[in-house]
Every structure is written in C-alpha cells, then in structure tokens.
Structure 1
Amino acid sequence: MSHLTDIPVALENLPSTHNVTPLLNEVRHALQALLTTGEATQIDLRSIPLSDRDVAQIQDALGVGEVEIQINALGPSMIKETTFAGVWWVEHRNSSNELTGRYIEITPVPDIVPSAMSDIQDGLERLNRRVE
C-alpha cells in the first residue's frame, strides 16, 4: 500500500508567482537599512502571494546559517539564521503543528528570542526560593 509521502513531488513543475527576486531585493534593502540606521524589518511571507516553489527558491537563495533556535510556547517556533548574518527565517506553529506564521526578519536577534525582563524577574524569584 502506498502513502502520499511516497509520491515524489517535482517543484520545477509548480507555478511561480515571480515574487522571489523582488522579495530578495526587499531583504537586501532591509539589511542595508539595518546597517545604516539600526532599523529592523519583518517581512510576513504569508501576506505575499508565494507558491511552494517560490518558498523553496527563497529558502535556497538565503541558505542555512549557523544558528537554529526552537521555542516551545503555545506550539513550536523555529528561528533559523540564514547564510546572511542578520537575516532570519522564522516559522510559528500552533499546538496542532499547523503553520500560523512565516517571516523573514532582518535584525541582529529576532524579538521573540530575548527573555522579557518580567520573565527574568520571575526566574530570579524562583531561583532565590530554591537556594534559600
């Protein structure tokens, strides 16, 4: 018995929206803005018409960097550095593992990564109770 996962899928036969090059130019300009002004940019990929082929082409063009962060809060979030420092591929999923957000973030560190000061305060209080 065959499964759907046993059927090969050829991306070259999928249609393209021709939005890959403009999107990569937007990333390039955002990276320049980050360097010159410190301004971070978030590109919501789900708000742009992109085919699966386009998404694969964008991922291929950006590549995979050295840093990968997984956050588990209300579902898994995966943050991956691309081969271009300061350019991050971010995906959020719900508790049913359905994709709820896909972004390219141009920033030194995506906003979701650093701990909130209130969480740090809570951590200190819990550690103090444990040590006392």
Structure 2
Amino acid sequence: MQRDVIAPTLIGVLAVAAIAAGLMFTGGPNTARAEKRDDARHRDIRDLSRLVSCIKSHDDALPDTLKSDERCKAAPLVDQTNRQPYRYNVISENSFDLCADFELPERFQSYSRYTRPSGQWQKESECFRFTLK
C-alpha cells in the first residue's frame, strides 16, 4: 500500500519542481510580455532612426528635434505602451541617440542582433547610438 502512494507523490513533486525550474529559467509570462513590449520599442527605435536618416538626406543635417516629416515614412514618436515620447539627442553632425524606457534593458547588452543597422547599445544611457555616413 505504501508503494502505491510513494510513486504518485514522487511524480507530483518532480512535476512541480520541473514547472518551478522552467518558470525560473524563462522568467514566466510577465517576463515574456515585457520582452514583447521591449521588442516593439526597439522596432520603433529602428523606424525612428530611418526617419532621422531620411530627414538628414533631404536637409543635409540632423534634425534638432524628433518630429514627423512629410518627405519621409512616418514613425511612432511615442511609446504605445506607456505613452511617453521617445527621446532623441544629437551627439555630433552624423551621430545621434534614440532612447526609450525599456523594461528589460539588460537584454540589449549581450544580443548581437542589437548592433548595426539597429544602432549600437549604450549601456550607460540605455539608448541606441546611430552614426550616419
């Protein structure tokens, strides 16, 4: 009779442990949702970099502020999740930073997919830096 109880109990304990380990490893559904929102922000940053590049190609200078331009493809100026405007800083005549309030900024430090043409991640400012030719 005792063996009849031990096996199912052991299987149940192992199943719970496996689920807990999986959630710890992946971060669970909340982390997945934060990653999805950060991926959307990163896509917006890429689109904004194309907007800035287009404006520079027409005006031969980086714009002073981040704004739409009828000569260029539209890009979202505001984060659709938190409704905060994306930040734009001119660094030099050919370089600029685009910044967002990322929920998981540490993701961008190690992924090689977050390098050119998507900009170079700046750990200190948590912005992407773009340099145009």
TM above 0.5, yes or no, is no
**TM-score scaled to structure 2, two decimals?**
0.35
- CA radius of gyration, larger in: 2
**TM-score scaled to structure 1, two decimals?**
0.36
Structure with the larger strand share: 1
